[in-house]
Each structure stands twice: as structure tokens, then as C-alpha cells.
A = this chain, B = another copy of it.
Amino acid sequence: MTALGCSQPVGIVGLGLIGGCLGLDLQEAGAEVHALVHRPSTAARARQRGLASRVDTDPAVLADCGLVILALPLDRLLDPDPALLAALPAGAVVTDVGSVKQPVLAAWGPRLRRFVASHPMAGTSRSGVEAGEKGLFQGRPWVATPDADTDPEALEAVRQLATTVGARWLCCDAASHDRAVALISHLPVLVGAALLQTADGGGQASGLGGLVRDLASSGFADTTRVGGGNPELGTLMARCNRSELLAALGRYRQAIAGLERLVELEDWQGLEGVLRECGEVRQEFVG
């Protein structure tokens, strides 16, 4: 007996942060999990950590899986290994976890009858086979972006997957998803990175490199957390969501210029009004 209302094993391709977390949570929920990884050393460590019931570097490990989750980095997802494609069981529901949905849907939708593009919105600063931990998805959004061709039964199977690991299920179209994540997920990476560059460069330029490091505290740490995160992931998100990210950056540049103007003009009432509105907006966004 396995979870997700189905007696077949669940397949996971890739046991990095997201794949590893899913493997642990799905097994906890009673599912049998078969995982495909790239390197033998990863397979050995994943077995030690118990990230899946079976772990192999041979795509045949996916045979008999009724649901397969492609937990691959965006670049490998968009340019999949032919051996992986050949090994996906006919009739299996296949979903991904990529943070940009239009290119994924374009690449995979026409290829597989029962593909569902989806995006569990959760992360930590860790990556790789050591990163998986239980409970990562609890209460976090899991967004699917079905289109007119998406099989409703396949969509339902992915919804069950998401709710099984405690995520909050949402659906929207892929273009809206990509625009929204550019604003709330991809832009913050560059916002924080630019702050790190500024504090470092501004400190060095004044001979205060040591002092800025000594004084940086929790506010600086929080504001730069995602900006100092995984560089490969940040670059892939920018590459795969370039036009939406550029639109968000243009809008952000104007917002910075607007705040700079208020400080320049010493319009303190105006600045306080803007900051008050920002506090209210933040309440609406993150409570």
C-alpha cells in the first residue's frame, strides 16, 4: 500500500534539496519511492540517508512508477537526457519542480500526454544530496500551471502529491506564474546581491571594509539571504525568466530612483508616507 491513492511507486529524478525533501516526506506518508540520480557517489549517500526506498543511476529504476517527479535543475530539465526520456513509463503522470514554467511547459507538454508543470515554492540555503530534510513543504505554496492540453486526472494526481507533503495547492497560467515569481522570487536575488556588492564596495572604497563587516547585523543578514544564495540557481532563474526579470528590474530601478529623490529633496513627510505604505503592503504579502 502506498500513498497518493495508487499502489505504484513514486519516482523522483534527482535527489538535491527538493528531490531529497520529497523522498523523505513521501516515504513518511507511506509511499514507496524509487529515485534516479546521476552519480554513483550520490546514489550511495542517498541510500545511507534513506532519501528513497530504491536509488539507482540506471533509469530502469523508474519502471512501474505511476508518478514521476523531475527534480532537476532548470538547465537539465530543459535539455533532458534521452536515456531519461526513454525510461519514463508510458502512461505515468510526470511533473517537475522548476521555478520558471513557460519554457518547461513548452519543452515537456508536447512530449508527454500526462505532463503537469508545477512549482513547489520552498527552499533553504542548502543544496545537494545532504540538503534533504523532512517537512520543507508544510504550508508553502505549490503552484501548478496547467494549460488546455493538461490531463485533469494527471493534475489531480499532482494535487494529491502536493497536499500529501502539506503544501498549499494553487493553479494559475504559466505566464502569470513567471511574471509573479520574477517579482517576488527572482528579483529579490538581484536586490540582495546588489546590496552585498554595495556594502562591500562602499566599505573598501572608504577603508572601512573591516568596520562594515563588524557592524552588519540581523537586518543586513535577512535582506541579503537570497542574494547570497546558490549562484547556479540564481543564474538559471534569470536565464529562463529573462524578459520578466528585466521588466521587474526596470520597475525596481524606478522605485529606487523615486526613494533617492525623496531623500535628495528632503521630503521627509513623503518618505515616511511611502515607508508606512510599504509596511502595510508587506503585511498583505507575508502577514
- Of B181, B199, B227, B268, the contact of A184 (CB 8 Å cutoff): B199
- Of B228, B253, B282, the contact of A253 (CB 8 Å cutoff): B253
Instruction: Determine whether A87 belongs to the interface, using a CB cutoff of 8 Å to chain B.
Output: no
Give Cα A181 to B179, complex, Å.
Answer: 34
C-beta contact mask, A50-81 vs B, less than 8 Å → 1, else 0? 00000000000000000000000000000000
User: Is the beta-carbon distance between A278 and B193 smaller than 8 angstroms?
Assistant: yes
- Of B121, B197, B206, B216, the contact of A274 (CB 8 Å cutoff): B197
Shortest Cβ distance from residue A203 to the other chain B in the assembled complex, whole angstroms: 6
Instruction: Determine whether A264 belongs to the interface, using a CB cutoff of 8 Å to chain B.
Output: yes
User: Is the beta-carbon distance between A260 and B282 smaller than 8 angstroms?
Assistant: no
User: Is the beta-carbon distance between A143 and B215 smaller than 8 angstroms?
Assistant: yes
Instruction: Determine whether A259 belongs to the interface, using a CB cutoff of 8 Å to chain B.
Output: yes
User: Is the beta-carbon distance between B196 and A184 smaller than 8 angstroms?
Assistant: no
User: Is the beta-carbon distance between A231 and B191 smaller than 8 angstroms?
Assistant: no
> How many monomers of this chain does the complex have?
2
> A195-225: which residues lie under 8 A (CB-CB) from chain B?
195-203, 206, 208, 211-225
User: Is the beta-carbon distance between B251 and A198 smaller than 8 angstroms?
Assistant: yes
Instruction: Determine whether A3 belongs to the interface, using a CB cutoff of 8 Å to chain B.
Output: no
Which of A10-18, A106-114, A237-245 faces chain B? A237-245
Known: A121-B215, A195-B187, A275-B231. A256 touches B252 (CB 8 A): yes
Instruction: Determine whether A232 belongs to the interface, using a CB cutoff of 8 Å to chain B.
Output: yes
User: Is the beta-carbon distance between B282 and A198 smaller than 8 angstroms?
Assistant: no
> A89-107: which residues lie under 8 A (CB-CB) from chain B?
none
Instruction: Determine whether A7 belongs to the interface, using a CB cutoff of 8 Å to chain B.
Output: no
User: Is the beta-carbon distance between B285 and A202 smaller than 8 angstroms?
Assistant: no
- Give the residues in chain B near A88, CB-CB below 8 Å: none
Shortest Cβ distance from residue A33 to the other chain B in the assembled complex, whole angstroms: 25
- Of B172, B208, B216, B239, the contact of A266 (CB 8 Å cutoff): B239
User: Is the beta-carbon distance between B275 and A193 smaller than 8 angstroms?
Assistant: yes
User: Is the beta-carbon distance between A121 and B271 smaller than 8 angstroms?
Assistant: no
User: Is the beta-carbon distance between A245 and B263 smaller than 8 angstroms?
Assistant: yes
Known: A200-B281, A260-B246, A282-B227. A274 touches B193 (CB 8 A): yes
Shortest Cβ distance from residue A83 to the other chain B in the assembled complex, whole angstroms: 26
- Give the residues in chain B near A264, CB-CB below 8 Å: 246
Q: 14 interchain pairs (CB within 8 A)?
A: A141-B215, A143-B215, A184-B216, A191-B194, A193-B255, A194-B252, A194-B259, A201-B251, A222-B222, A235-B275, A239-B266, A249-B259, A249-B263, A253-B257
